[in-house]
Structure 1
Amino acid sequence: MPNKTRPLSPHLQVYRPQITSILSITHRATGVVLAFAALLLAYWLASAAYGPEAFARAQGVLESWFGRLVLFGFTFSLFYHMCNGIRHLGWDMLWGFEMPKLRITGAIVVIASLSLTVLSWLMAYGHVGKL
């Protein structure tokens, strides 16, 4: 008779999250977020095809504080997914599996993603003339 008190797998109550697992989950989540970003881009392009009123409505939504927050999140998701994808390419070449390198490259991915997001927004607003 099997022991019923022993868990069958490491449940969330027992499992201690590690940086590698958090980065992996974030990579998957940003992939899902990018799918929604593609839908938003399709909506924005379709609104331009429907005419000036529809496009003005879409622009109004995207230019609101909430719309900009969503776009900022999409931008971060794009850069995070890209940077972590580059990290995965290193793994495909069998580089970076040692724990110190995993932690360092994970930190580099997060810092690079945040930096690229902020830099791209500053460049975009600087180019447009708004900040």
Structure 2
Amino acid sequence: MKILVIGPSWVGDMMMSQSLYRTLQARYPQAIIDVMAPAWCRPLLSRMPEVNEAIPMPLGHGALEIGERRKLGHSLREKRYDRAYVLPNSFKSALVPFFAGIPHRTGWRGEMRYGFTQRCTRAR
């Protein structure tokens, strides 16, 4: 199984996301877990043994750039991910996995994301 996680853009949130990667690896021991996040996260993600690859997010924080997100999603199709977990709560964060054609997409409810994520959870 191949899993793509759209990671957070903040240091503390990225550190806390390791618990998700550990849980995913425990649940799916053969899974390959890649994380898309800002380039500055690479050194941090390289220290997380659960993460196979840190994929740099080339788009700046706050930029919608829907056409670029579509291109980015299409470029990920060749990796054939089975699942995606979208950690940020923003609409734009859910676009890349949607455009990548990832069949199972999980994320938080909100910001008109219905349809872009299939399994939605309420933020607490």
TM > 0.5:
no
Q: Which has the larger radius of gyration?
A: 1
TM category, shorter: under 0.3
| Higher helix proportion | 1
What TM-score, normalized to structure 1? 0.26
| Higher strand proportion | 2
